[in-house]
């Protein structure tokens, strides 16, 4: 195996990635007849791996595929792949961790049987590409393509067939390449985007579409739990474009995004386009504060007990951006403002993170 090559788990054994090949007659490739799930690491530790594997096994049961491994074995092999692959990344990077199981290779000859192909693989997360979204918010558009109704294919299963979501995205991005699609259902209610759940906030109530009509995101579940813990009323209910256009705040959730604010729906600004709104920001910071263990990211930048600190001799550039990732919750995105020369203390109360720094104060921390 070339030095520094990633490994993958494939059908019972660990192999260098370059030695994993899937048949051209694999039914996942031929028909989308496969399921997957994906978590990410924070500082090399998979985030809510068990919850993702539970969801994977629900998807498998829905498609009547038996992977031949217990959930515990799937978890152990996933950890093994991460243990090998994470140290191969450049410092301070993290991984997607995916399990993919197809029904197997389509039988060609008499006597051939279908045996599932089980793959566990990782790849690096491109953080930088998304960093600016936490400042500008995401523009959402709702395409004419409706989300496939649950009686056709349940969106609660995470299968290899994302064509419905991709068609919606193609339509939206044909008109605005930077917009993200959130599909409506046949009744005109919001559902979800290609990899994210949607939340609206109105008069302090945090609402999201019902679980029957979307993939029930692990982050969606965490946000509902955290919001309830903060004493915010939470609702899982039908939400239509009236709700979207009149919302006080809105955001998307996903494993990689954590919580990312929405700036508009179909060109109608949410909260005058000012993001993140106060409840969104509170939830973003709650995810951060819930982190029991926090690690260093960029040289000398630390988060500990809810406080960021910069203790380095490096000279930061104005508006330099990077992510500080926590071990078991979200990430924060820092904007260094070299023009602001005061030495400031941490202020968790107001929801803003202000950091003691010898060289450059840090302000505005957002999940990323």
Ligand X SMILES: Cc1ncc(COP(=O)(O)O)c(C=O)c1O
Q: Is the dihedral of CA 185, 367, 39, 56 positive or negative?
A: negative
Residues between 72 and 131 with contacts to ligand X, criterion CB under 6 A: none
Count, residues in the chain: 368
Taking CB under 6 A as the binding criterion, the range among 17-25, 190-198, 238-246, 310-318 that sits at the site for ligand X is 190-198
> Does residue 190 belong to the site contacting ligand X (CB under 6 A)?
no
Closest residue to bound ligand X by CB = 217
CB neighbours (10 Å) of residue 160? 19
Least distance from C-beta 109 to ligand X, angstroms?
A: 36
The residue among 125 and 215 lying less far from ligand X, judged by its C-beta, is 215
Long-range contacts for 243-248 (Cβ within 8 Å, ≥24 apart)?
Answer: 243/190, 243/200, 243/202, 243/207, 244/140, 244/190, 244/200, 244/268, 244/270, 246/202, 247/200, 247/201, 247/202, 247/271, 248/201, 248/202, 248/203, 248/277, 248/279
Task: Classify strands 301-304 and 268-269 as parallel, antiparallel or unpaired.
Answer: unpaired
The residue among 15 and 156 lying less far from ligand X, judged by its C-beta, is 156
Residues 6 or more apart whose CB falls under 8 angstroms from that of 143 comprise 167, 168, 169, 171, 172, 181, 183
Taking CB under 6 A as the binding criterion, the range among 89-97, 216-224, 323-331, 344-352 that sits at the site for ligand X is 216-224
Residue 168 token pair: 């919606």
The half-sphere exposure of 190 on its side-chain side, counting CA atoms within 13 A, is 29
The string over 191-215, giving b where at least 16 C-beta atoms fall within 10 Å of a residue's C-beta and e elsewhere, is bbbebbbbbbbbeeebbbbebebbb
The residue among 185 and 192 lying less far from ligand X, judged by its C-beta, is 192
Taking CB under 6 A as the binding criterion, the range among 97-105, 131-139, 211-219, 275-283 that sits at the site for ligand X is 211-219
Instruction: State which of residues 253, 263, 286, 357 lies at the interface with ligand X (CB under 6 A).
Output: 253
Least distance from C-beta 165 to ligand X, angstroms?
A: 6
Instruction: State which of residues 78, 98, 255, 321 lies at the interface with ligand X (CB under 6 A).
Output: 255
Residue 331 and residue 348: Cα distance in Å, rounded?
16
The residue among 159 and 321 lying less far from ligand X, judged by its C-beta, is 159
Instruction: State which of residues 44, 146, 149, 195 lies at the interface with ligand X (CB under 6 A).
Output: 195
Please state the φ and ψ torsions of residue 83, each to the nearest 5 degrees.
-60, -35
The residue among 43 and 217 lying less far from ligand X, judged by its C-beta, is 217
CB 251 within 8 A of CB 261: yes
The residue among 134 and 353 lying less far from ligand X, judged by its C-beta, is 134
Q: x/- site string to ligand X, residues 150 to 169, per CB under 6 A?
A: ---------------x----
> Does residue 219 belong to the site contacting ligand X (CB under 6 A)?
yes
Taking CB under 6 A as the binding criterion, the range among 86-94, 143-151, 166-174, 213-221 that sits at the site for ligand X is 213-221
Least distance from C-beta 367 to ligand X, angstroms?
A: 13
> Does residue 215 belong to the site contacting ligand X (CB under 6 A)?
yes
* Residues found near ligand X in the complex (CB under 6 A): 165, 192, 195-197, 214-215, 217-220, 253-255
């Amino acid at each position: 195996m070339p030095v520094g090559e990633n490994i993958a788990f494939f059908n019972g054994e660990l192999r260098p990635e370059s030695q994993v090949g899937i048949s051209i007659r694999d039914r996942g490739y031929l028909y989308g007849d496969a399921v997957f799930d994906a978590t990410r690491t924070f500082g090399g530790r998979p985030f809510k791996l068990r919850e993702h594997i539970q969801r994977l096994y629900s998807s498998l049961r829905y498609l009547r595929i038996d992977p031949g491994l217990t959930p515990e074995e799937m978890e152990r092999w996933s950890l093994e792949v991460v243990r090998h692959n994470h140290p191969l990344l450049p410092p301070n990077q993290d991984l997607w961790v995916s399990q993919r199981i197809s029904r197997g290779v389509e039988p060609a000859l008499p006597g051939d049987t279908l045996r599932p192909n089980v793959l566990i693989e990782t790849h690096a997360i491109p953080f930088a590409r998304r960093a600016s979204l936490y400042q500008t918010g995401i523009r959402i558009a709702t395409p004419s393509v409706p989300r496939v109704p649950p009686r056709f294919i349940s969106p609660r299963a995470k299968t290899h067939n994302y064509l419905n979501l991709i068609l919606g995205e193609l339509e939206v991005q044909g008109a605005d390449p930077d917009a993200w699609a959130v599909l409506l259902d046949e009744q005109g209610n919001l559902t979800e985007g290609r990899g994210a759940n949607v939340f609206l906030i109105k008069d302090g109530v945090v609402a999201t579409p019902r679980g029957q009509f979307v993939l029930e995101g692990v982050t969606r579940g965490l946000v509902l739990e955290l919001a309830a813990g903060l004493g915010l009323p939470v609702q899982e209910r039908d939400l239509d474009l009236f709700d979207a256009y009149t919302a006080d705040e809105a955001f998307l959730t996903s494993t990689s995004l954590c919580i990312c604010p929405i700036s508009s729906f179909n060109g109608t600004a949410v909260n005058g386009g000012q993001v993140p709104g106060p409840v969104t920001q509170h939830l973003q910071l709650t995810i951060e504060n819930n982190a029991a263990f926090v690690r260093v990211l960029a040289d000398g930048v630390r988060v500990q007990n809810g406080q960021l600190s910069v203790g380095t001799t490096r000279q930061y550039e104005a508006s330099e951006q990077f992510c500080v990732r926590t071990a078991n919750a979200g990430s924060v995105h820092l904007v260094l403002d070299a023009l602001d020369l005061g030495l400031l203390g941490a202020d968790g109360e107001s929801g803003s993170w202000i950091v003691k720094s010898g060289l450059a104060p840090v302000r505005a921390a957002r999940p990323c």
